[in-house]
Amino acid sequence: MSNQPQHRSRRLRSILDDVQQSTAKAQQDALRAEDVLTALEDREARRAVRDSTLNPRTTIA
Amino acid sequence: MPQRTIQEARQHLDGLAEVMSPKALSPFQAEFDGAQTAAVDMATRHMDTTFAAVAALSDRVDDQVRDVRTGYARLIDEGQAGRITAREFNERFTKLRQQQRDAERRATEAARTAERLEAVELDPEGWADSLYQRFPLTRPHFSF
């Protein structure tokens, strides 16, 4: 055999462990992005409320 | 000439060993050894090919995850700085999540293939025999 027994799977496991770590970090990034999105939506909602308070739509009878 | 799996040939050879002299058995043993080596060689080629495929797939996943992480970093920066609207943020976020899920699916696929490779490494002869079972016409020929 060109390699020692289990040589390949050990190397692959090491490669896949690295991929898994990167994938886990990407999931943490996604959580952070989710938080930022929530903050953006809150900010826009507050701004909309503030704008409507400052410039109330006048109804002409 | 009968076609047998390695396991079948071994059992047959063991039976012959009980009734034949070592000298008379010798050519059959050589035949068996050759077939066994060929079976392990076939498994080795399969493992080499599978290893290369999984390593290449892992590289692609790694690149894809790196791109996704770069995308998240930019998106978070722009979102925190208020340079994009929630709607724009959400559109880009959805695309990144899709790419992320795709990378995760590929990573799972690579891990499953690596598990199968490990099983072949543990028993290359058994793996070859499993192929001989599924495709009987590929079984090695024996004169005994």
pLDDT in tens, A3-52: 455 789 999 999 999 999 999 999 999 999 999 999 999 999 999 998 88
Task: Name the residue of chain A whose CA is nearest to B50's CA.
Answer: A8
Q: pLDDT per residue over B2-44, tens digit each? A: 999 999 999 999 999 999 999 999 999 999 999 999 999 999 9
- End-to-end CA separation in angstroms for chain A: 92
Note which residues in 6-45 of chain A have CB less than 8 A from chain B: 6-9, 11-13, 15-16, 18-20, 22-23, 25-27, 29-30, 32-34, 36-37, 39-41, 43-44
Domains of chain A, by residue range, sit at 24-48
Q: What is the mean pLDDT of residues B76-93?
A: 97
- Residues of B with Cβ-Cβ distance to A44 under 8 angstroms: 85-86
B134: number of CA atoms within 13 Å, CB side?
5
CA neighbor of B75 nearest in space, from A17, A16, A37, A39? A37
Q: What is the mean pLDDT of residues B76-87?
A: 96
Q: pLDDT per residue over B106-138, tens digit each? A: 999 999 999 999 999 999 999 999 999 999 999
pLDDT value of residue A57: 63
Tell me if residue B3 falls in helix, strand or coil.
strand
Q: Give CA B31 to chain center in angstroms.
A: 29
Give this prediction's pTM.
Answer: 0.82
Q: Provide ipTM, 2 decimals.
A: 0.80
pLDDT value of residue A2: 47
CB–CB contact B114 A12 (8 Å): yes
CB nearest to A29's CB, from B51, B69, B84: B69
Domains of chain B, by residue range, sit at 6-135
Which two three-digit tokens encode residue B26? Answer: 């010798």
Contacts of B102 (CB under 8 A, 6+ apart): B64
pLDDT value of residue A55: 76
Q: How many helices (H) and strands (E) does chain A have?
A: 1, 0
* Average pLDDT of the residues of chain B: 97
Tell me if residue A3 falls in helix, strand or coil.
coil
Tell me if residue A16 falls in helix, strand or coil.
helix
If one counts every other C-beta atom within 10 angstroms of the C-beta of residue A16, the result is 23
Distances (CA, A) of B139 to B2, B123, B134: 9, 17, 10
Amino acid at position B20, single letter: M
B48, burial (CB in 10 Å: exposed 0-12, middle 13-18, buried 19+):
middle
